[in-house]
A and B are shown apart, each in its own frame.
Chain A
Amino acid sequence: MTSTTRRDFLKVAGAGVVLASFLKGGGAFAADTDTVTIAYNVNLPAFDPTVGPSAVNPTIQAIYRALFDQYVGQKPDLSFEPGLLTDWGWNADKTKVHMTVRDGVKWHDGSAMTPEDVVWSLQRAGDPKTGNPIQFVWSTIDNFQVAGNKITADVKSYDPTLFKWMAFLTGYVMPKAYYQKVGAQGFEQKPVGTGPYMVDEFQSNGFVRLKRNPHYWGDKPAFETVIFKFVTDPTSRVAEVESGGSDVTLQIPYEEYDRLTKGGKFDGTCEPVSDIGMIFINNVPPLLDKNVRLAATHAIDKQAIIKRLLRGYGTPIDTLEAPGYLAYDASIKVPYDPKLAKKLLAASGFSPEKPVKMTIQTTRGYMPKDYEMIQAIVGMWRKVGIEATIEVYEIAKHYELRAADQLAPFAFYNWGNAIGDPATSTGFAMFGPSPHSVWNTDDLDSKIAPLWGEKDEEKRIAGWKAVDKYIAEQAYVLPLLQYAQPIVFRKGLKVTPNQSEALQPTLIAKA
């Protein structure tokens, strides 16, 4: 009989400890009650929320909003609320703006946030040398004056969306003294904001760990620690929450959303967001024929596409304004009517036997079921007399072709508009001189042009609704659906969906 010596016992125990240490990383470490871990779908390329291409990525705003405060706040339903400004507006003739800066706000380093910080941030944002992609908005005001916590400025050119942008992309207040002291590189190494969380640890391409800001002026966030893990592959994000490695994830396939939320272990929300799927129509033959364009719009059963391909998650739309946007007009309808489509095509000499032929371009996998949707649409068109050839391209190619105005007659794309203003949806997508427009004709441009600087808000919105109606009647674009954003989270949490798509940590609470 062999006896176990003390040395043998220590060897076995030591091996056990090593093995346990080795395997500890896998399990449900995310279930720490004061920490929430989010498996996030995009990397954080840079901390400065006001410069560079990532500054206009709507998804990344969740992290920026955790660290920084916006001039104007935005609620999950896209309505506006006081942010670092408690009051804002124009004078009667819209030649000046006025802003009141919130008292008692501190930067993460404990120093006071001042009106000078706000002015410097606005001036910096309007300077084209900084590389702010929304510079064209911020540069519309100048000649700032500070008196106490009140700021006034002159309006160089009236932009009715100015204060809306203050709640959205690049509309963040930056610390003047700190930034000037440490410079751009120093700021990236140790960013300082006034937001509800501060950076605790950052591993580029890996994760960012945030700690609650003890100086925060607003409501105390529910969690002491928030971890954003950058998991860009959707399958891996699903595995992250299933394994317990993360508490929350988003932007996963709708099939996986249903499977996880119906399995009993997870809760979820899948609510409409400010992102729409659409097909650009180019003013080239054969789409110069109005009958063909209208037939193409009436031949698509959007509800069936949403039901069958997107498992019911999505809202059909007939204009570029989704429900909830300022100029949404429920009375504008483009019904599914294949008989009418056939009749319109017949009037132009086309039929299923003698179809009109063209190309439709689409991405594949860039948006949920994009290619499959286009396949379904092509099938619907074929039945009425439109024969479309699908051309798949990368999203970068789409941008290149669109900037050069060389897209195919039809081109699928998605369009976000988190401020819900018609200028940033219908306006930029349809106005000829905009580098993003595809349909360029004088009749439409002459209707849009006066609306850019319209100072009467009611008249402006009514004008955009009239433009949307005209576009629908002429079929200058083919709106398809408003997307829904799937978010899955473990039981015991509560997530408030944000229509702007930004899943900021302050919207996550303990149930």
Chain B
Amino acid sequence: MRKLPLAFLPWRSLLLALVTLFGVAVISFVLLRVVPGDPIAMMIAPGASQADIAQLRASYGLDRSIPVQFVIWLGHALTGDFGTSISMRQDVTHLIAERLPATIELTLLALLIALVLGIGTAVLSTLSRRRLVGGTIDNANGILLAVPDFVWALAFVVLFGVALPILPISGRVDPRLSIDFATPFTLFESLLRLRLDITFDVLSHMIMPALALALPLAAVILRVLKGALEVEARQDYALLARIRGKSRLRVTLEETLRNALIPTLALTGVQFTFLFGGTVIVERIFAYPGIGNLAIDAVINRDLPLIQGLILTFGLIFILINLAVEASFGLLNPRLRHG
């Protein structure tokens, strides 16, 4: 079979991404309108007549058939207009754009923690000749894998919020601070502006939710990377390096780790998308103002335009993460760059 020219690979991925996104839009649009819970029924005033209710339904376009509603919605969505939130009466695009940066910062911090913890402990476990260290890491890893993120979140609230109150348990920043930044990326912008007081305050708010999200992912990284490192260590090139006198540490860091990271990275990419999904509950517990917290409010209020916008946002994030993971394979493994 003839292989596709390299130059077309990203385009094919992008095309597939667009098809996926369209599929997500169609499925979510239809599902949202057939599941129980009529948003108009939640808005009916005490003295409303049937005519008032019909007028209210028409004002949100919900009196049309689902296909017609979808075509209208799609027409607007293609221009970047995802409608107006029913519960907040604000532009959906604006609402999501306002909160997405908080979630991006949180998940990136969680990813960083997971990578450092996962890779660090995997290398340590591989290098350690003591059974005690390896066994302890394996047992701890079992616990990390078994306990879901929201349980960690609740445990951290009790431990570091109440029993030993050293970390704030809600919000993204101390409400007493006035922040007049140009972007909603408070953490990144505070670093760029060298406003370290704000950086530390934001980090103190983020550390518990980020750690809660990171621990299960760190456990996955540890398990996969440890297995991959053990396989790579038995390969000829690794044995040759050892015969040439390189220490186990150098062989691991300079030779085997790079190859072992490829399957780990693939899995991390998939797991990272789950980590984004995990923000829904974890953000709620920490009253963190991101899109996860917003999603719960939207669902409770049956805010169809907002739910639709959020589903597409999550869908887009998942696709972008997968594209990024795909692209990073080429960077890590030059063989994949040559068709």
B302-A396 in contact (CB<8A): yes
Point out the residue from B46, B59, B196 that lies within 8 Å of A434, measured CB to CB.
Answer: B46
Contact A394 B88 (CB under 8 A): no
Q: Which of B116-124, B233-241, B286-294, B313-321 contacts A (4 or more CB under 8 A)?
A: B286-294
Contact at B169–A21, with CB atoms within 8 Å? no
Residue A283 lies at the interface, judged by CB distance under 8 Å to chain B: no
Once A201-B178, A203-B173, A403-B41 are accepted as A-B contacts, the answer to whether A136 and B200 lie under 8 Å apart by CB is: no
How many A residues are at the interface, by size bracket? 35 or more
Task: Find chain A residues with CB under 8 A from B196 CB.
Answer: 21
A506 to B184, CA, bound (A): 32
For A128, the closest partner residue in chain B by CB is: B55
Across the interface, name the chain B residue whose C-beta is closest to A56.
B45
Partner of B38, one of A37, A200, A227, A403: A403
Binary interface encoding of chain B residues 294-305 relative to chain A, with 1 for a CB under 8 A from any of its CBs, else 0? 101100111000
Residue A402 lies at the interface, judged by CB distance under 8 Å to chain B? yes
| Chain B positions within 8 Å of A26 at CB level | 160-161, 165-169, 204
Contact assessment for B175 and A201 in the assembled complex, using a CB-CB cutoff below 8 Å: yes
0/1 string, B120-150, CB within 8 A of A gives 1: 0000000000000000000000000000000
Q: Is the CB of B167 within 8 A of A135?
A: no
For A27, the chain B residues whose CB sits under 8 A away are: 165-166
| Interface of chain A residues 400 through 420 with chain B (CB within 8 A) | 400, 402-404
Is A45 in the interface zone, CB < 8 Å from B?
yes
* Contact in complex: B204, A239 (CB < 8 Å): no
Measured between alpha carbons, how far is A204 from B167 in the docked complex, in Å?
22
Is residue A470 contacting chain B, with contact meaning CB distance below 8 A?
Answer: no
| Contact residues in B for A393 (Cβ distance below 8 Å) | 36
- The reply to whether B37 and A53 form a contact with Cβ atoms under 8 Å apart is no
The listed residue with most A CB atoms (<10 A of its CB), out of B168, B170, B296, is B170
CA distance A403 to B44 in the complex (A): 8
Give the residue of A128, A229, A232 whose beta carbon is less than 8 angstroms from that of B175.
A229
CA distance A470 to B98 in the complex (A): 53
Per the bound structure, the CA–CA distance linking A23 and B300 in Å amounts to 34
Contact with A along B186-209 (1 / 0, CB 8 A): 000000000011001101110000
Other-chain contact of B88, A46, A134, A242 (Cβ < 8 Å): A46
In the bound complex, do residue A46 and residue B90 qualify as a contact, i.e. CB atoms below 8 Å apart? Answer: yes
Q: Are B161 and A22 in contact (CB under 8 A)?
A: no
Given the complex of chains A and B, what is the CA–CA distance between A27 and B46 in angstroms? 45
Across-interface contacts of B260 in A (CB, < 8 A)? none
- Please measure, in the bound complex, the distance between the C-alpha atom of A244 and the C-alpha atom of B200, giving whole angstroms: 19
Q: Which residues of chain A are within 8 angstroms of B87 by Cβ–Cβ distance?
A: 45, 52-54
A231 to B157, CA, bound (A): 13
Tell me the A197-253 residues at the B interface (CB within 8 Å): 200-201, 203-207, 209, 225, 227, 229-233, 235-236, 239-240, 242-245
10 additional contacts, CB 8 Å, given A229-B171, A402-B41? A26-B166, A45-B89, A48-B89, A206-B175, A240-B169, A244-B165, A396-B41, A433-B49, A434-B47, A436-B44
The 7 sampled A-B contact pairs (Cβ below 8 Å) are A131-B89, A136-B47, A201-B178, A229-B287, A242-B161, A396-B39, A403-B38
Residues of B within 8 A of A (CB): 36-50, 52-53, 55, 59, 85-90, 95, 98-99, 154, 157-158, 160-162, 165-176, 178, 196-197, 200-201, 203-205, 284-287, 289-290, 293-294, 296-297, 300-302
